Amino acid sequence: MIFEPTGDLLKDYSAFCEIDQLNERDDVLDGIIAEDGKTTVTMRNIEYCLNKRDAAPLCSGIPHCLTLTTVEMTGCGLTEHSLKLVAEALYKSQTVSTFTADFNAVGILKDPTAAKKDKNEISVLPSQFKGAHLRNLAVVDKAEDLKKKDGKGKAPVAAVKEILEVNEKPIALPSGWSSLLLTGLQVLSLRGNAIDDVQAESIAQVLVGNTELISLNLWGNHITNGGAAALASALHSNRRLTSLDLGHNDIDDEGVLALVRCVLTQDLPNDDALKLRQKVCGWTSELPVYPTYSDLVAALAQPSDDKKDPKKKDAPKKKAGDGPIERLKGEFDKDCVRLDENRVRVPGNTSIWCLNFSQNTKISSRIVGCIEDILKRREPTLDEIFNGGAIKEPSSYVVGVHLRHVIIEHTKMDRKYQEALSNILQQS
C-alpha cells in the first residue's frame, strides 16, 4: 500500500495506524487538536506509557503537518525508544518550535514493545533538518512538471537532484533527552524528569553547538553543582539561549556562580575564537586583525590637533606592522582584543537574559554580594591599563551583558535578598 500523507495529522495518524495494523489510541487521538488553521498535540497524564509501537504512527505524521507548532507530552511515560522517535520527527518537522516533555517522574522508561535485539539506533540526514528534503523534492517535482509542459526546467532539475544525491554523513541521534537539542526547537521544557548530572552533562555537550534553542527548562530535576558547571561551560560557547531554568534542583552558591561567570570575557586560542565568531557573525574563513592593548594604548600617544597630552608622553608609539590602532566595529568584534599571536580575548555570553535558581534551598544570602562583584568587573580605562609606564593586561571583565534576571528565592531565604539582587541586575 502506497500512502501519501495529507498534512492533516488526525487523518495521517489514523492512516499510519492502519498501515502498521495497529489500533488507534484514544488518548493520542484526543490529544491532536486542529482549530482555526492551527494544530497542536497535547497529551497529559495518559493511562499507559507512550511506547514505541504507539508513538510510531504519530511520529510518522508529524513532519508532514505544516500547521503544527507545539507538541506537549506531559506525564506520558516516554520510553527510550519512543523518545528517539519523537526526536526524529521533530528534527524533520518544518514547523514545530516548542516541545514539552514534563514529569516523566522516574525518568525515561524501558520500552515494553521493543524487541530484545532492537538497538534503538536512529540516524537522520542533514538535508532532512526542518523538512529541507521535502522542500527540495517539491522543487524537483515543480521543475519536472515545467519540463513536461514546455521542454524547459532541465537545469533546475539537474541541480536539485545533484544536491539530493550527494552522499551525506548520517547523524546518529543520541539516547536520552539530549537528542531533543538537535531538532531545531526554540523552546524545550523537561521539568520533573529525574535528570541527574550525567544527563545534564549530555545536554550541555549538545547545547554547545546549538544555534536554535532560546529557552531550556530543567526545573524540578536532580541536578547538582556538577551539572550546573557543565551547563555553564556550554554557555561560554552557546550564544543563542536566553533563558535557563534550574529551579528546584540541588544547586548551591558554587553552581550559581559558575553560571553567572559565563558573562565574563574569555581568552581563547585563535581556532576557538574563530568558531565562536562564526556563531555570532556568520561564517568567515579567518579572524580579522584585532588591536592589542598595546595598540589601544599607543593611540593615546598620537597627537590630536597638534596638541599632545603631557600625561601620555611616555606611552609607546605606534609602529609599522602593529595591529589597528582602534577597535573594530560590529557587535562581536568591537569587544575583542588580541593578547598575543595565539590568543584573543572575546566577550562573554551576551545572549543569556534569565537564570532561574528558585527553590534551590542550599543557596545562601552571600550569593548576592558574589554576583554583584562579578557584574562590577568592567574593562579598565586605557589610562589604568597603561599604569606606571608599563602595560598591564587586565583580568576578565563584563561587556555587553544582557543578564537581567537571576532568581535565587527559596523558602529559607528572606525576600529582601532577591529584591537586592534584582536591583543590582537592573543597574548593571
Whether 360 is covered by a domain: the verdict is: yes
- pLDDT for 354 equals 98
Given 161, 194, 227, the domain boundary residue is: 194
Pairing of strands 243-245, 386-387: unpaired
Same domain? 175 vs 323: no
Same domain? 297 vs 180: no
- pLDDT for 312 equals 47
- pLDDT for 321 equals 41
Residue 304 has a CB neighbour count (10 Å cut-off) of 9
Whether 7 is covered by a domain: the verdict is: no
Same domain? 186 vs 266: no
Distance of CA 98 to the CA centre of its chain: 13
Same domain? 152 vs 283: no
Given 194, 218, 244, the domain boundary residue is: 194
The Cα–Cα gap between 90 and 414 comes to 43
The Cα–Cα gap between 75 and 64 comes to 25
Report the domain count for the chain.
Answer: 2
**Average confidence score pLDDT of the chain:** 88
Whether 253 is covered by a domain: the verdict is: no
- pLDDT for 301 equals 66
Q: Where are the beta strands (DSSP E) in 243-293?
A: 243-245, 266-269
pLDDT tens, residue order, the chain (428 aa): 478 999 999 999 999 999 999 999 999 999 999 999 999 999 999 999 999 999 999 999 999 999 999 999 999 999 999 999 999 999 999 999 999 999 998 889 999 999 988 999 999 999 899 977 555 555 445 555 555 554 554 455 555 555 555 557 899 999 999 999 999 999 999 999 999 999 999 999 999 999 999 999 999 999 999 999 999 999 999 999 999 999 999 999 999 999 999 999 999 999 999 999 999 988 888 999 999 998 888 877 665 554 445 444 454 554 534 566 788 998 899 999 999 999 999 999 999 999 999 999 999 999 999 999 999 999 988 888 887 677 888 999 999 889 999 999 999 999 999 999 999 999 88
Same domain? 174 vs 286: no
User: In sequence order, which residues have a C-beta less than 8 Å from that of residue 170 and are 6 or more positions away?
Assistant: 123, 124, 125
Q: From 52, 98, 325, select the one nearest 190 (Cα to Cα).
A: 98
3-class DSSP state of 264: strand
- pLDDT for 105 equals 82
- pLDDT for 391 equals 84
Distance of CA 1 to the CA centre of its chain: 40
Whether 219 is covered by a domain: the verdict is: no
Whether 220 is covered by a domain: the verdict is: no
Same domain? 351 vs 275: yes
Pairing of strands 266-269, 343-346: antiparallel
Q: From 253, 211, 261, select the one nearest 231 (Cα to Cα).
A: 261
Q: From 163, 200, 184, select the one nearest 69 (Cα to Cα).
A: 184
Q: Looking at the DSSP assignment, which residues form a beta bridge with residue 264?
A: 398
- pLDDT for 282 equals 86
- pLDDT for 151 equals 52
Q: Looking at the DSSP assignment, which residues form a beta bridge with residue 266?
A: 346
Whether 381 is covered by a domain: the verdict is: yes
Same domain? 300 vs 420: yes
Amino acid 178 reads S
Domain that holds residue 351: 262-427
Residue 14 has a CB neighbour count (10 Å cut-off) of 16
- pLDDT for 320 equals 38
Given 194, 212, 230, the domain boundary residue is: 194
Same domain? 35 vs 184: yes
Same domain? 270 vs 409: yes
- DSSP states of 218-252 as a string? -TTS---HHHHHHHHHHHHH--S--EEE-TTSS-B
Same domain? 310 vs 388: yes
Whether 221 is covered by a domain: the verdict is: no
The Cα–Cα gap between 94 and 110 comes to 29
Same domain? 68 vs 150: yes
- pLDDT for 299 equals 74
Cell numbers of 426, please?
Answer: 537592573
Whether 5 is covered by a domain: the verdict is: no
The Cα–Cα gap between 245 and 102 comes to 13
Same domain? 285 vs 413: yes
